[in-house]
Amino acid sequence: MKALKITRYGDINTSLAFGEASVPIPGTGEVLIRIHAASINPIDLMVMRGDMKAVKKLDLPVGIGRDLSGVVVSVGGGVTAYQPGDEVFARVGEDHVGTLSHFLSVDASHLARKPKNLTHEEAASIPLVSLTSYQALIQVAGLKKGERVLIHAGSGGIGSVAVQLAKAYGAYVITTTSSANVEWVRELGADQVIDYKKENYLDLLSDIDVVYDTLGGQYTLDAFKVLKRGGRVVSISGVLDPQTAREFGIGWLLRKLLRLKARSVMKAAKEKTALYRMVIMEANGSQLEELGSLCRDNIISPVIDKIYPFEQSLEALSYLETGRAKGKVIVSMGESANA
Ligand SMILES: NC(=O)c1ccc[n+]([C@@H]2O[C@H](COP(=O)([O-])OP(=O)(O)OC[C@H]3O[C@@H](n4cnc5c(N)ncnc54)[C@H](OP(=O)(O)O)[C@@H]3O)[C@@H](O)[C@H]2O)c1
């Protein structure tokens, strides 16, 4: 079988190589999947570039890709929930990364049944972005019916699912995007779409209950300018708050440095008696099962920008790297799913 691997830290053209490997044998609690489609995410590029080295140094070469949709080939000891032939999808755990591959053994607890109304390409677009947004908006921010939520970058992989999820939970959804994306983002269900090329959201918004900060940098600090007193800012791109750093098992020295970096954000949160949390998403099969049922009921629909054949994975990653994707970028195994 063929797999794309990160062979050294660096950029797309120098770090990645296709290689031949033997089909893995699933261990206890694992399931072997024949992958039909994978989706790629900014984290894949960050790991490739070595941006996460301080948190976790990898023993290269390693696989790349965290989202998959495919069919169960065989199961390891102790797995009773799945059997050969089942169609599944997943955001695989960090110990099983490598979905840009023909086959992958994954932890059974990270799998969910693929919604039958979705193609493999559509299903592969869902796991990482929907789990992240569920964990940020629902689990951490506790978004409630009728609350006003600002979701930055409604046209991105994350934003396009987050808008739909927040609507499903009954929120009033405000989102930002550039002029070319305004209309289709509105069609996803957003109540208010701000064209950031023409308007400054800081002039338009106040008293927001929840800000979902998908952009980081100045956007994290500015979130508190539009937030109501006692509101919540959940970030997936901002600075690590002390609680999340502790929960993530980051060593004390790095935690100390991060605490300094987060100082102005934590101060802004305190001044608004607000919650600030950085969310680092985790693979979770049972949450994905629930998100899959929202897809089955057409409450969440996949938003796919481009589909690339497996052989063009580098082109797919280069497109994602432009930061201009409209929804998700998919890699399809197509015919090679039968390799
Ligand atoms: N912490 C976690 O666990 C976690 C999990 C998933 C993702 N993330 C992070 O979340 C971020 C978003 O991920 P993604 O998958 O959505 O990335 P993406 O798909 O690459 O995002 C691209 C989108 O961002 C929009 N955008 C860029 N600048 C913007 C701005 N100033 N205002 C509004 N929209 C803007 C672009 O729209 P326009 O072309 O219209 O500008 C484009 O549609 C990444 O930084 C990623 O690393 C973190």
Dump the DSSP string for 240-259: PPHHHHHHTT--HHHHHHHH
Task: Report the percentage of the chain scoring pLDDT > 90.
Answer: 92
Better-predicted residue by pLDDT, 336 or 180: 180
What pLDDT band is residue 248 in, cutting at 50, 70 and 90?
confident
Our mutation pick for probing the ligand 1 site, out of 44, 133, 140, 155, counting the most ligand atoms within 8 A of Cβ, is: 155
Q: What is the C-alpha to C-alpha distance for residues 94 and 86, in angstroms, rounded to an integer? A: 23
Closest C-alpha residue for ligand 1 atom 33 = 153
pLDDT single digits (tens) 204-238: 999 999 999 999 999 999 999 999 999 999 999 99
Query: 285: CA distance to ligand 1 center in Å?
Result: 24
Ligand 1 atom 38: the closest Cα is on which residue? 178
Nearest-CA residue for ligand 1 atom 29 is: 153
> DSSP secondary-structure letter at 336?
G
Domains of the chain, CATH where assigned: 2-126+302-338 (3.90.180.10), 128-278 (3.40.50.720)
| Ligand 1 nearest-atom number relative to CA 160 | 16
pLDDT digits 0-9 by tens, 31-51 = 999 999 999 999 999 999 999
What is the pLDDT, as a whole number, of residue 253? 87
* Cα–Cα distance for residue pair 254/54, rounded to 1 Å: 8
Chain-wide mean pLDDT for the chain? 96
| pLDDT tens string 69-90 | 999 999 999 999 999 999 999 9
152 neighbors 278 (Cβ within 8 angstroms) = no
| Rounded Cα gap, residues 324 and 316, in angstroms | 12
* Nearest Cα residue to atom 34 of ligand 1: 153
- The CA distance from 243 to 289, in Å, is 28
Most ligand 1 atoms within 8 A of CB, residue of 199, 212, 214, 244 to mutate: 214
Supply the pLDDT for residue 334.
80
Q: What is the Å distance from ligand 1's center to 24 Cα?
A: 33
Reported as a single tens digit per residue, the pLDDT across 263-289 is 999 999 999 999 999 999 999 999 999
- Rounded to an integer, the average pLDDT of 260-264 is 94
What is the enclosing helix (H) or strand (E) of 30?
strand 30-40
Binning pLDDT at 50, 70 and 90, where does residue 335 land? low
Atom from ligand 1 closest to the CA of residue 196? 32
Q: Pick the residue whose CA is nearest to atom 8 on ligand 1.
A: 236
User: Ligand 1, atom 21: nearest CA belongs to which residue?
Assistant: 156
List the residue whose alpha carbon is closest to atom 48 of ligand 1. 236
Ligand 1 center–CA 261 separation, angstroms: 22
Determine the Cα–Cα distance for residues 45 and 48; give it in Å rounded to an integer.
Answer: 5
pLDDT digits (tens, 9 = 90+) for 120-174: 999 999 999 999 999 999 999 999 999 999 999 999 999 999 999 999 999 999 9
DSSP string, 59-73: -SSEE---EEEEEEE
- pLDDT at position 169, please? 98
Amino acid identity of residue 61, one-letter, is P
pLDDT (0 to 100) of residue 54: 80
Write down the pLDDT at residue 339: 46
Taking 70 as the threshold, does the pLDDT of residue 336 lie above it?
no
Please report, rounded to a whole number, the percentage of residues in the chain having pLDDT higher than 70.
99
Within 6 Å (CB) of ligand 1, which residues are found? 41-43, 132, 152-153, 155-159, 176-178, 181, 196, 214-215, 236-237, 279-281, 320, 323-326
pLDDT per position as a tens digit, 117-129: 999 999 999 999 9
Residues 6 or more apart whose CB falls under 8 angstroms from that of 75 comprise 26, 30, 31, 32, 82, 83, 84, 108
Q: How far is the CA of 6 from the centre of ligand 1 (A)?
A: 23
